[in-house]
């Protein structure tokens, strides 16, 4: 039988229990069609790159399916009718991967890095300087005004 990877996204306001019931309903459709679900993964509530039907986040679920095309087509038809499912994608593959998907490995990568060092407020970075920055202007270094240097001072009038 053909092998498929199927990912579907549900609305953000749907609870995880409702996502599980949707998943079991779709699994039931596949098993009634003579297929089987090899593996299923819940990837969690994740942000979307752009709004889809006024939603900024979605619950992601991935299914590895071993079934005939008719059962997969029926599941896709029911997904397109469901108001809770935002998007879905089914891809035919040559073989299923035995190791965890990249979405599940991502959490392991963060654990391997170890804890982050504490943030230091004072002295953690040198002050930012550009190539053409000049030292701050000081009053003592101020040049004399050009008009005053060019014109001689007039003698003060004496009052009698």
Domain that holds residue 45: 1-61+75-92
CA distance 139 to 67: 84
CA dihedral 121, 125, 131, 135 (to 10 degrees): 50
d(Cα 105, Cα 118) in Å, to the nearest integer?
26
The total domain count for the chain is 1
Q: Is residue 21 part of a domain?
A: yes
Better-scored residue on pLDDT, 99 or 113: 99
The reported pLDDT for the residue numbered 96 is: 84
Reduce the DSSP state of residue 148 to 3 states and report it: helix
Distance CA 49, CA 8 (A): 15
Q: Does 97 map to a domain?
A: no
**What are 34-90's pLDDT values in tens digits?**
999 999 999 989 999 999 999 999 999 999 999 999 999 999 999 999 999 999 999
**Nearest residue to 72 via CA among 54, 93, 51, 50:** 93
Contact (Cβ atoms closer than 8 angstroms) between residue 5 and residue 94: no
**Pick from 80, 60, 46: which is nearest to 8 by CA?**
60
Report if residue 20 sits inside a domain: yes
DSSP secondary structure string for all residues of 39-64: EEEEEEEEEEEEEETTEEEEEEEEEE
Does some domain include residue 79?
A: yes
Residues 109-116 have a mean pLDDT of: 62
- Model confidence, pTM: 0.64
* Nearest CA among 21, 27, 34, 17 for reference residue 63: 27
Q: What is the pLDDT of residues 139-148, one digit of tens each?
A: 665 566 665 5
The answer to whether position 83 is within a domain reads: yes
Pair of tokens at residue 42 = 């819940």
Q: What is the CATH number of the domain that holds 9?
A: 3.30.70.60
DSSP 68: -
pLDDT average, residue stretch 82-102: 89
């Amino acid at each position: 039988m053909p092998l498929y990877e199927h990912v579907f996204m549900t609305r953000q306001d749907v609870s995880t229990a409702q996502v599980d019931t949707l998943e079991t309903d779709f699994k039931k459709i596949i098993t009634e069609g003579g297929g089987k679900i090899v593996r299923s993964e819940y990837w969690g509530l994740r942000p979307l790159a752009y709004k889809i039907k006024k939603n900024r986040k979605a619950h992601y679920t991935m299914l590895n399916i071993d079934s005939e095309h008719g059962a997969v087509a029926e599941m896709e038809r029911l997904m397109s009718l469901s108001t809770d499912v935002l998007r879905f994608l089914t891809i035919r593959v040559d073989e299923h991967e035995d190791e965890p998907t990249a979405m599940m490995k991502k959490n392991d990568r963060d654990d391997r890095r170890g804890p982050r060092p504490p943030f230091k407020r004072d002295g953690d970075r040198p002050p930012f300087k550009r190539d053409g920055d000049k030292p701050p202007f000081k009053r003592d270094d101020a040049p004399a005004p050009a008009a005053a240097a060019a014109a001689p001072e007039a003698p003060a009038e004496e009052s009698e």
